[in-house]
A and B are shown apart, each in its own frame.
Chain A
Amino acid sequence: MASVMTPNGFDLDDSGQRIVVDPVCRIEGHLRIEVNLDENNVIRNAVSTGNMWRGLEVILQGRDPRDAWAFTERICGVCTGVHALQSVRAVEDALKIQIPANANHIRNLMMLAQYVQDHIVHFYHLHALDWVDVVSALSADPKATSDLQQSISPWPNSSPGYFSNVQNRLKRFVESGQLGIFANAYWGSPAYKLPPEANLMATTHYLEALDFQKEIVKIHTIFGGRNPHPNWLVGGMPCSINVDETGSVGTVNMVWLNMVKDIIEQSIAFTDQVYLPDLKAIASFYKDWGAYGGGLSGKNVLAYGEFPAYANNHTNDSLMLPQGAILNGDLSHVHDVDVRDPEQIQEFVAHSWYQYSDENTGLHPFDGVTEPKFELGPNTKGTRTNIENIDEGGKYSWLKAPRWKGNAMEVGPLARYLVAYARGREDIQNQVNGLLEELNLPITALFSTLGRTAARGLESSWAAHKMRDVYGELMANLKAGDTATANMEKFDPATWEADVKGVGFGEAPRGALGHWVHIKDTKIKNYQCVVPTTWNASPRDPAGNIGAYEAALLGTPMANAEQPLEILRTIHSFDPCIACSTHVISNDGRELSTVKVR
């Protein structure tokens, strides 16, 4: 190939040294990245391979649609609940079920809590070690660390003694010689820019965040019975509310509602006093990353919108984060997205391990076909079961390639924020403008690895505050005497029409998520999910357009070709979830061939 220009405007050159990163760790699921470097160690070609397939949609065929939320919830345990929510929405859409206001508020609270928790875990436990040198923290001055902490935040855990204790613990951990999850990493690399004190502060918050995240999800435990994988219900929510009558102690009562309120306040405190100050402090040392990793973000982004303020209304009049698509970076014109339009969302498989009868065409999820076909391109290095270098000229991923009106799109917190910004949402504009001003960065810095990571942090705070509003609305509704949580009028399959279709769509923490269901004779006839990471980690399409991961890696210089820190930074900025993205359907439901291993 040497050098080519892709239709979506990226210059690819595969002539230089090839680097493989597999596994990409600190993500959900299994992902492989290969890149080519030029003589200056700048990435000139990038290849994203989804390494797993589970076949969940095959498994859903013929089942009770009321059960589908439980199956699809198991697509992902990191962003737990997000598939369940789209699933109950899809079935409710198909069966024309209206949910009560309380159920809508409770679903919003659960999804908002998921945003806060998921973003915190991503920032501290999946992403931070790309920027924070844990070993450098050992040489920090605890007093100076305390001064730093107190200068950026009123967070009370800030004394020199507190940081000294954490540092001593780290020292003993390192001196034990058993480095555990920190072993064999890239400590001391010149790519790490933070001073020791910032490293100690951030490492301390790694531990604090690990202890705190388990509190946020208790909102799921109260309304859904547990976390991960809380329970949901077609028609509303299964948690009845009883605040003043006999039996209240066995349901959602004042004690639990008070606990929800406390968790919300704790979440606001943590995001505003720990997460955001850390994000800004770290970003101030990595402003150069406001110029790397942009990829599709400055061109094409997509959001389905989320958090309906009003039950059963999924239009922009109701959505707290609006839907829309931006093309060619034109923020002055946001396109409306219609998830039912067969011409808008389509999936391609020319470079995916599936087959279509015509692989030049894309299929809308209602018409989705997926036949697995594991075959490697002719230029693969290695063997079928020992791949050294993948051949991106052939099929090379278990992910399909979704496209919106033929365009590769980026989804996720940054996409949502760009759409909301362009739609004129003032709460989002104020957040974004405030951050840019504080960091003294131009708006173009948003289109980058740094921008992606920053948008997620802002959104975590936004979601924490929004929980407070939603909680207020829930309580006002209860005060007005409405305690209903479920509409069971059409729960009995005997009441259903024979042949119906529905869509559930919204925004998972990682981006736009849709479930399409076809119900025939009370059973699932066809079920399709198009998932955030499928958009972002997508392989090439038949026209040669590259996806968001591949585009974002291009042009980034690596400090050391042996240490993939820069690749991890950009890929992690998307928060990959591979189990989500690879679970498609064999449309005729036939048994797949069995090959015994060894």
Chain B
Amino acid sequence: MPAHETFYDVMRRHGITRRSFLKFCSLTAAGLGLAPEFAGRIAYALETKPRTPVIWLHGLECTCCSESFIRSGNPLASDVVLSMISLDYDDTLMAAAGHQAEELLHQTVEKYDGQFILACEGNPPLNEDGMYCIQAGKPYVEKLRYMADHCKAIIAWGSCASWGCVQAAHPNPTRATPIHKVILDKPIVKVPGCPPIAEVMTGVITYMIAFDQLPPLDRQGRPKMFYGQRLHDKCYRRPHFDAGQFVEKFDDEGARKGYCLYKVGCKGPTTYNACSTIEWNGGLSWPVKSGHGCLGCAEDNFWDKGSFYSPVTSLNVMGNVEATANKIGGTLAGAAAIGVAAHAAATVIQKATAKKPRASEEMSNG
């Protein structure tokens, strides 16, 4: 038995039988969309591996990614931190401070050069010589570059690290810049969302540790397994959309019946994420299920696409065929059923023209 506590040990300690553990591995494989034979690989990895060092840096951000991470129910954040990874630096949680904290960065580079995962929450600002985010008296971007030089791979947590998010919204006064535009020579897994779903975060880490490889990514660098489909396509309110049953304004009759939120601004039709399937906080609910439209928080530049209460058809998005649907819907002066038909047609056109790789992938999936 290894000296460290492996994930398998954690499971056993929680009273899980070996049989249940193997079942967990099968379910994990299935949950990640993998063939059944991968279950054995997951089991082997979780039984034997030492904990992978993870350095978790914080740039300009609001710490919602860390907060989301500790909401994970399966696995628990406590088990991830104590038994699955070695969280060797995270200024939000670590006991040390000041130079004792910063020493740990150098120790990690010495001991694990090229072997640790760099988890980035937030992003570096580049204006004012980078001094809009100061750490240990220096620009954060220097620390980011130093650690990136020595890491094995990067996880860009959340929309800040992946796209820029709120501080990069127009006019982006600090020139907050996503990780992939600063670090050009390392593999980067983007896990967007403001924040990402807790179990998506722990799922991505589990995958990387179990398989010792990056998850398959789409052209924008997001794991296909969680960001391959639009919320709209798996939304439990989708039948109401198809039937032309809409919430016209918040807390109306339609809202109390759980009708579709498309007309009050839901961005589900243009958002690729797992909210409508995995849901939030242990699968309890997600924004649409609790009555508010999706903000589209996992999408690039979602802050600058118009009001959260404007229907997506009126958005001015380059190459978005659904803009056409708005014009059609608009000339029909709110005739809901016909407008929806036009929108549905536009969706088909979008898939057929396959302008975006993700659309074509979806076709092959479906």
| Interface set of A (CB-CB < 8 Å, partner B) | 20-30, 32, 49, 51-56, 58-59, 63-64, 66-67, 70-71, 74-78, 80, 121, 125-126, 129, 134, 165, 169, 172-173, 175-178, 180-186, 207, 210-211, 213-214, 217-218, 220-231, 233, 235-242, 245-247, 249-252, 256, 259, 372, 374, 382, 384-388, 398, 483-486, 488, 491, 563-564, 568, 579, 586, 589, 591-597
Given A67-B307, A385-B139: A486 in contact with B251 (beta carbons within 8 A): yes
Bound Cα distance A327, B258 (Å):
52
A234 → B minimal CB distance (Å): 9
Known: A236-B251, A386-B137. 8 other contacts (CB 8 A): A30-B91, A52-B60, A74-B62, A76-B64, A181-B90, A183-B88, A183-B95, A256-B285
Contact (Cβ within 8 A) A80 B64:
yes
Contact (Cβ within 8 A) B13 A165:
yes
Partner of A21, one of B70, B97, B127: B97
Question: Of B17-25, B40-48, B172-180, B338-346, which stretch is located at the interface?
Answer: B172-180
| Chain B positions 227-258 with a Cβ under 8 Å from a chain A Cβ | 236-237, 249-252, 255-258
Contacts of A252 on B, CB cut-off 8 Å?
A: 290-291
Q: Pick 29 A–B contacts, CB within 8 A, sort by A.
A: A23-B91, A23-B102, A24-B98, A25-B93, A26-B91, A27-B92, A28-B92, A30-B91, A55-B167, A66-B308, A74-B194, A80-B64, A134-B95, A178-B51, A181-B93, A184-B107, A186-B95, A213-B70, A222-B290, A225-B292, A228-B64, A229-B194, A231-B291, A239-B290, A251-B257, A372-B132, A382-B137, A384-B131, A564-B98
B269 → A minimal CB distance (Å): 17
Task: Tell me whether B34 is interfacial, beta carbon within 8 Å.
Answer: no
A168 → B minimal CB distance (Å): 9
Partner of B93, one of A53, A125, A593: A125
Contact (Cβ within 8 A) A183 B70:
no
Contact (Cβ within 8 A) B173 A30:
no
Give the 6 A-B residue pairs with the shortest CB-CB distance, closest first: A250-B258, A77-B64, A247-B257, A225-B287, A185-B95, A176-B4
Question: Of B79-87, B183-191, B207-215, B317-325, which stretch is located at the interface?
Answer: B79-87
Contacts of B290 on A, CB cut-off 8 Å?
A: 221-226, 230-231, 238-239, 252
Contact (Cβ within 8 A) A59 B249:
no
Task: Tell me whether B67 is interfacial, beta carbon within 8 Å.
Answer: yes
Bound Cα distance A502, B236 (Å):
38
A202 → B minimal CB distance (Å): 13
Contact (Cβ within 8 A) A52 B98:
no
Bound Cα distance A386, B255 (Å):
55
Contact (Cβ within 8 A) B137 A221:
no
Contacts of B167 on A, CB cut-off 8 Å?
A: 54-56, 59
Task: Tell me whether B73 is interfacial, beta carbon within 8 Å.
Answer: yes
Identify the closest chain A residue to B64 (Cβ): A77
Contact (Cβ within 8 A) B76 A211:
yes
Given A225-B292, A238-B291: A22 in contact with B136 (beta carbons within 8 A): yes
| Chain B positions 281-327 with a Cβ under 8 Å from a chain A Cβ | 281-282, 284-292, 295, 297, 303, 307-309
Bound Cα distance A595, B137 (Å):
18
Partner of B130, one of A226, A385, A398, A589: A385
Contact (Cβ within 8 A) A23 B135:
yes
| Chain B positions 94-115 with a Cβ under 8 Å from a chain A Cβ | 94-104, 107
Partner of B5, one of A23, A176, A384: A176
Given A23-B98, A217-B71, A597-B129: A226 in contact with B280 (beta carbons within 8 A): yes
Contacts of B26 on A, CB cut-off 8 Å?
A: none
Contacts of B281 on A, CB cut-off 8 Å?
A: 214, 217-218, 220-221, 226-227
Contact (Cβ within 8 A) A74 B126:
no
Contact (Cβ within 8 A) A221 B285:
yes
Partner of A251, one of B94, B128, B166, B291: B291
Contacts of A485 on B, CB cut-off 8 Å?
A: 250-251
B57 → A minimal CB distance (Å): 11
Contacts of B82 on A, CB cut-off 8 Å?
A: 169, 173, 180, 207
Task: Tell me whether B223 is interfacial, beta carbon within 8 Å.
Answer: no
Bound Cα distance A259, B290 (Å):
14
Task: Tell me whether B53 is interfacial, beta carbon within 8 Å.
Answer: yes
Contacts of A221 on B, CB cut-off 8 Å?
A: 280-281, 284-285, 290
Contact (Cβ within 8 A) A53 B174:
yes
Task: Tell me whether B65 is interfacial, beta carbon within 8 Å.
Answer: yes
Given A55-B174, A222-B284: A22 in contact with B135 (beta carbons within 8 A): yes
Contacts of A22 on B, CB cut-off 8 Å?
A: 98, 134-137
Task: Tell me whether B50 is interfacial, beta carbon within 8 Å.
Answer: yes
Contacts of A59 on B, CB cut-off 8 Å?
A: 166-167, 169-173, 303
Contacts of A172 on B, CB cut-off 8 Å?
A: 3-5, 9
Contact (Cβ within 8 A) A226 B249:
no
Contact (Cβ within 8 A) A579 B251:
no
Contacts of B9 on A, CB cut-off 8 Å?
A: 172
Contact (Cβ within 8 A) A52 B129:
no
Bound Cα distance A384, B8 (Å):
50
Task: Tell me whether B271 is interfacial, beta carbon within 8 Å.
Answer: no
Contact (Cβ within 8 A) B65 A77:
yes
A306 → B minimal CB distance (Å): 21
**Most B-side CB within 10 Å, residue of A121, A386, A484, A579:** A579
Contact (Cβ within 8 A) A236 B87:
no
Task: Tell me whether B222 is interfacial, beta carbon within 8 Å.
Answer: no
Contact (Cβ within 8 A) B5 A564:
no
Bound Cα distance A176, B81 (Å):
13
Contacts of B297 on A, CB cut-off 8 Å?
A: 229
Partner of A226, one of B13, B138, B252, B286: B286
Task: Tell me whether B77 is interfacial, beta carbon within 8 Å.
Answer: yes
Identify the closest chain B residue to A208 (Cβ): B78
Contacts of B291 on A, CB cut-off 8 Å?
A: 225, 231, 237-240, 251-252
Identify the closest chain B residue to A51 (Cβ): B134
Task: Tell me whether B204 is interfacial, beta carbon within 8 Å.
Answer: no
Partner of B309, one of A58, A64, A178, A568: A64
Bound Cα distance A182, B62 (Å):
23
Identify the closest chain B residue to A172 (Cβ): B5
Bound Cα distance A592, B175 (Å):
9
Partner of B104, one of A26, A80, A184: A184
Identify the closest chain A residue to B281 (Cβ): A221
Contacts of A181 on B, CB cut-off 8 Å?
A: 81, 87, 90, 93-95
Contacts of B4 on A, CB cut-off 8 Å?
A: 172-173, 175-176, 178
A596 → B minimal CB distance (Å): 7
A50 → B minimal CB distance (Å): 9
**Most B-side CB within 10 Å, residue of A23, A235, A249, A384:** A23
Contact (Cβ within 8 A) B237 A180:
no
Task: Tell me whether B206 is interfacial, beta carbon within 8 Å.
Answer: no
Contact (Cβ within 8 A) B97 A229:
no
Contacts of B251 on A, CB cut-off 8 Å?
A: 236, 238, 240, 484-486, 488
A272 → B minimal CB distance (Å): 22
Contacts of B258 on A, CB cut-off 8 Å?
A: 242, 247, 249-251
Bound Cα distance A493, B5 (Å):
58
Contacts of B174 on A, CB cut-off 8 Å?
A: 53-55, 592
B82 → A minimal CB distance (Å): 6
A564 → B minimal CB distance (Å): 6
Task: Tell me whether B141 is interfacial, beta carbon within 8 Å.
Answer: yes
Identify the closest chain B residue to A242 (Cβ): B256
Identify the closest chain A residue to B56 (Cβ): A181
Bound Cα distance A211, B73 (Å):
8
B183 → A minimal CB distance (Å): 13
Bound Cα distance A245, B22 (Å):
43
Partner of B256, one of A226, A251, A579: A251
Partner of B98, one of A21, A231, A240, A247: A21
Bound Cα distance A387, B173 (Å):
23
Contact (Cβ within 8 A) B308 A26:
no
Bound Cα distance A76, B284 (Å):
23
Contact (Cβ within 8 A) B63 A593:
no
Contact (Cβ within 8 A) A210 B134:
no
Task: Tell me whether B68 is interfacial, beta carbon within 8 Å.
Answer: yes
Contacts of A589 on B, CB cut-off 8 Å?
A: 171
Contacts of B203 on A, CB cut-off 8 Å?
A: none
